[in-house]
Amino acid sequence: MRLILLLIAFTFLSITCKLFAHGVPHQSRSEERSALAEAVDVQSTGVPLNRKSNDRNGGVEATTGWESRHMHYGVDESGPSGNYVNEVSVQVGDFSFNAWNGFGLGNDLVEWDFTGAYNLALGPVFLMPGYNFRYVPSQNEDGHDHGHEAEHEEGHHEGHADEHGGGHSHNLYSNEVFLTLGTTAIPYVTPSTVFVWDLNNTPGVFLECRLDGDVPVYKDVVSLQPYALLGLNFGYNTNDAYGLNNFQFGLQTTCRLWRYISAFAGINYSVALEALQTIGQENVVWVNVGLTFAY
């Protein structure tokens, strides 16, 4: 079964590359913001279609939205009641700074992420080292996650198997360093690999290989952002199983409403593989919607 899932995953990835590797060069996209989103596992959302990252040395973006579930590297941390999210991103030259927060709706989840990174471009290849401070006050000092309380009340146990000693567990705060390697050489698609190391959760390593598409549909007004990724756990989510974590894919539609405002809506699906199955995490589908203001 695991082999079949892997074959499906990489077949999907290879087909995606072939589909988007033809045609005229695509509009320049903000790989800095996408890489930051990958590093803190926040789905890149609402990038205005008329924004060209090479046109200026800086920019500011603010995003507000809702997601039906908050997923963190394949782990459902909110349950079915969802999450309200806000994000502010600032780019100054090759430096990018990001602040993100999420507030659970009908659950106790509260999360803050503060991220900084430097983008090093070597032709079509970009390398981005960075640091993320993750603060989750909804978790107490022993790492127990309260975000599933609403779901537990319904009798579901898709969350963390803390009672077995090897379940998903994170500290009240995390100091994470990351490194993203990717390329913009392929029209309409950006392949990348993200390495994340949680310094407060030894060994706490996660590796993600992903493809992010950006396909214009109608002039510079409507575009589609398909994506697919394969996550590998090396002690980040659990110490019970190293290796395959989850296969995830989704599709987002972005519509520019005005010069500085865009709306987005997406649907996502995560297939729990070996590592997540050891902590009782099941397959999850969720949606997200919101608005982005960019200058």
Question: Residues with Cβ < 8 Å from 190, sequence gap 6 or more?
Answer: 29, 31, 34, 182, 183, 184, 211, 212, 213, 214
Q: Give the tens place of pLDDT for each residue, 80-110.
A: 989 999 999 999 999 999 999 999 998 889 9
15-24, 108-117, 167-176, 178-187: which range is least confident on average? 15-24
Q: Where are the beta strands (DSSP E) in 140-258?
A: 173-183, 189-198, 205-213, 215-218, 222-234, 243-258
Domain covering 2-294 assigned CATH 2.40.160.40 in the classification:
yes
The pLDDT of residue 234 is 97
Going by their DSSP bridges, the two strands 95-104 and 110-118 should be labelled as: antiparallel
The DSSP symbol for 151 reads H
Does residue 133 contact residue 174 with C-beta atoms inside 8 Å? Answer: yes
* Sequence ranges of the domains in the chain: 2-294
Phi/psi-derived region of residue 179, left when phi > 0, alpha when psi is between -120 and 50, beta in every other case:
beta
From the list 48, 2, 18, the residue with the least C-alpha distance to 255 is 48
E strand spans, the chain: 58-67, 71-72, 75-76, 83-92, 95-104, 110-118, 120-122, 125-135, 173-183, 189-198, 205-213, 215-218, 222-234, 243-258, 261-272, 284-294
What's the pLDDT score for residue 40? 52
Q: Give Dmax (Cα) for the chain.
A: 54
What pTM was estimated for this model as a whole? 0.77
Asked whether 206 and 73 are in contact (CB, 8 A), the reply is: yes
Whether 129 shows a pLDDT value over 60: the answer reads yes
Q: Which of 67, 70, 38, 73 is nearest to 248 (CA)?
A: 73
> Higher confidence at residue 151 or residue 238?
238
Task: Count the Cβ atoms, other than its own, within 10 Å of residue 163.
Answer: 7
* Contact assessment for residue 241 and residue 275, using Cβ atoms and an 8 Å cutoff: yes
**Confidence at 38, pLDDT banded by 50, 70, 90:** low
CA 219 from centre of chain: 27
Helix (H) or strand (E) holding 150: helix 149-153
Bigger pLDDT: 186 or 19?
186
The confidence score (pLDDT) of residue 173 equals 86
Res. 259: pLDDT tops 70: yes
Residue percentage of the chain with pLDDT more than 90:
63
Cα(195)–Cα(232) distance, integer angstroms? 10
160 pLDDT more than 50: no
- Residue 125, H or E segment: strand 125-135
57: pLDDT confidence band, cut at 50, 70 and 90? confident
Question: Where does the pLDDT of residue 216 fall: very low under 50, low under 70, confident under 90, or very high at 90 and above?
Answer: very high
Task: With cut-offs at 50, 70 and 90, classify the pLDDT of residue 15.
Answer: very low
